[in-house]
Amino acid sequence: MKIYSSIDWNELAVTLESWEKLPLQARQIITENKFGTQFTKTELGEHEEILIEEQFLIPIKNIGNHNLRKTSNSKPAEIRYRFRDELRSFVNLIVICHKYPIFKNKDLLIDYLENHYTRIEMGNLVEHNPFNARKMTETLCQRVTFLHHLDNFVTWKNELEDEILFSGLTSRHVTKASQKIIRYFKGEKTPESYLSFYAKLKRMPRELFDSAISMCLSNVLIFFSLNPETLDLEIGIWPPISQRLHKDPAKAPKAVKAVSISSHPFLIEDMASFLIECESENAKLKADGQDLYAKSIKEIKSLFLELHETMEQEINYDDDSRFDAAEFWLFRLNFLNRTGRPGKNYLLTCSQKGIDWLCLCEKEKLKYFLDYLRNRISSTKDSYEIGLFLRDFLGQALFLDTIFYYKSNNLQLLVNWLIQTLKQLGDNFVPLEDFIEYQVEQCDPFNSQKVSSYNSQNNYPDARLEKMLNTSINAFLAQICFPLYCVELGLIDKQLCIRLTDAGRYLLNLQDDFEFGNEQLNAEIIIGPDFSVTFMAPSIQAETALSKFAERKGRKIGTIFKITRQSILAASVKGISCQQVIDTLTELSITTIPENIIREITGWFGQCRNLQYHNAILIKCANKSDAILVAGHAGNSVHILNDTIVEIPAAKSKQILKKLRQEGIVVKSQQ
């Protein structure tokens, strides 16, 4: 080890006793200078005497040039001092521990490891040794900052029990002594003065103590640091681990009376708005076929209904994230198609599934989505499918962060834990942070096993387990539960609260159906005699219904749609009837529909005709007798149109043409 390899731990205790006698300013002189520094009486000031008395400094003998001629103006050289040679290791330790006060600043961990350990030493602690040194240090950081790093060592049975060390001790003795040290510090809330710790272990033989401390340090189980305020040398385990071990257990969250700030599945509404814009053929794609033009994106975002400001600020539901989520799920559910070709009329359009979904009422739209999710949850079995499940439900960034669990086939356990955690919610609001903290602390979904070999990481749990569980449940709520109104959000004293909804119980298979909102289309719109449709208040449901047979003219409030002959004819092509249009307008309008509107709509639908066509092949014969011959061999499915033209159905053309060839009649296509 860079710092610890040459230290005599018993001598360290003796030197620290002298260190304790130094005033703070005298200690600062040592911590601010490297070994080999020379000091003058002026620099030492009033601390010269005690530093010499405690044998930290010794004078430098003057080995000057005696042949130099003395002059009357020459002054005697000022006495200079240096550290005693025996203090090299001590001074290096004090200086480096002062530079990296790891117990006060956790962000210094990477620098601490790089300056206390060599690359080879760190590589021995990392199973898959990355080529990049910085990456290796970061990997080691993730390991040593987790409680399992200590627990696995304390329960580890040394496989080299009979190996005799240079001190005459066996590996078993050293391992047990090291485990005793770790158990001691697990029982302490804060780091401890090294002298105080050494005094408590005086009964331990010197050689055993030295070897045990070296083993703990070589495995990065304990840390040394200098207290920035007192400059006392302290020893202890990673501080957040101590805090976790000694913190009060999380209490079950208590029900509170919160004000609801969410009341609808805004993801469903965003998806519907997206499809409406695509159905109007305004969603133009760039040449790469991946992204929409900025104008199209802006128009789609303008359709999104506003959310409570707390949801936008605390959970980051801005227009960009909402657009990305809507686009992702529309493609995942096969509601969108790319039509045309790059550079010319390249569009995002609604698929038939998307059109069918858009025609559903709000509850049925939501139920369609929830049924898809329920099926994904129940049918996901193998690791690959579970990985895709988590990528969809938790987001790409978090999925990449769970790669360790993907390799260890623990993804299914994580999915099960997420579902079981949500089932703990009830009808009453509970604080969001308290609920998540309690659930993460209550259960280890991976049932972490104690390992037989300390350095084996095949079964070693990820050092970010708690953070990942916390992030996973937060992501599942933010990506799925809140946008689909499976979990309702509330607010009390600026604190977010949550409770399970009927839709959430349906998603979790706790009930077979759910009640949701009003099945009627509640909207405040006026149908004008000029065929304009004016919205007095925004309503995505009404926009969805009207977009099927009216042309869009605006957004949210004001004259948003206009009924035209072209829009009615287009609706007829989609299979919408005249009565459906009139019923929808009657249900939505807060005033009586003008008679001229009903009369014109009825007339426009009357102009529509539904005709049928079929594909056929025409055979042109030389004369009437050839036509009769062809018809005789082809059978009853053909029709003689005139003296020389015979029509055969395209569906049976192969069989008929083959039969004619067998009779010596060859039919060739006309070029």
Give the best-scoring range by mean pLDDT among 60-69, 258-267, 336-345, 428-437: 428-437
Interval 148-157: pLDDT, tens: 788 888 887 7
β pairing state of 336-341 and 233-236: unpaired
Instruction: Answer yes or no: pTM beyond 0.75.
Output: no
- Please tell me the predicted confidence (pLDDT) of residue 506: 92
Three-class SS state of 498: strand
**Higher-confidence residue: 69 or 103?**
103
- Report the amino acid identity of residue 625: S
Report pLDDT digits (tens) over 552-608.
777 667 777 888 888 888 777 767 788 888 888 888 888 888 888 888 888 888 888
Task: Please calculate the CA angle 143-148-152 and round it to the nearest 5 degrees.
Answer: 105
Which residues on neighbouring strands pair with residue 431, listed in sequence order?
A: 497
> 287 pLDDT band (50/70/90 cuts)?
low
Q: What is the pLDDT of residue 531?
A: 85
Q: Which residue has the tokens 């499809």?
A: 275
Query: Among candidates 332, 334, 338, 376, which has minimal Cα distance to 352?
Result: 334
How many residues does the structure list for the chain?
A: 671
SS3 assignment, position 617: strand
Return d(Cα 178, Cα 152) in angstroms, integer. 13
Nearest to 481 by CA among 261, 253, 266: 266
Q: DSSP for 432-446?
A: HHHHHHHHHHH--TT
Q: Mind giving me the DSSP string for 636-655?
A: TT-EE-SSSEEEEEGGGHHH
Judged against a pLDDT cut of 60, whether residue 41 lies above it is answered with yes
Instruction: Give the pLDDT band of residue 39 (cuts 50, 70, 90).
Output: confident
Q: What's the average model confidence in pLDDT over 537-545? A: 71
- Asked whether the predicted pLDDT for residue 94 surpasses 80, the reply is yes
Rounded Cα–Cα distance for residues 425 and 435 (Å): 9
The better pLDDT of the pair 174, 250 is held by: 174
Q: Distance from CA of residue 412 to its chain's centroid?
A: 17
Number of H helices, E strands in the chain: 32, 19
Of residues 386 and 147, the one with the higher pLDDT is 147
CA 221-226-231 angle, to 5 degrees, is: 155
pLDDT in tens, 399-423: 444 444 444 456 677 778 888 889 9
Phi first, then psi: give them for residue 558, nearest 5 degrees. Answer: 105, -160
Choose between 518 and 156: higher pLDDT: 156
Average pLDDT (171-185) is 87
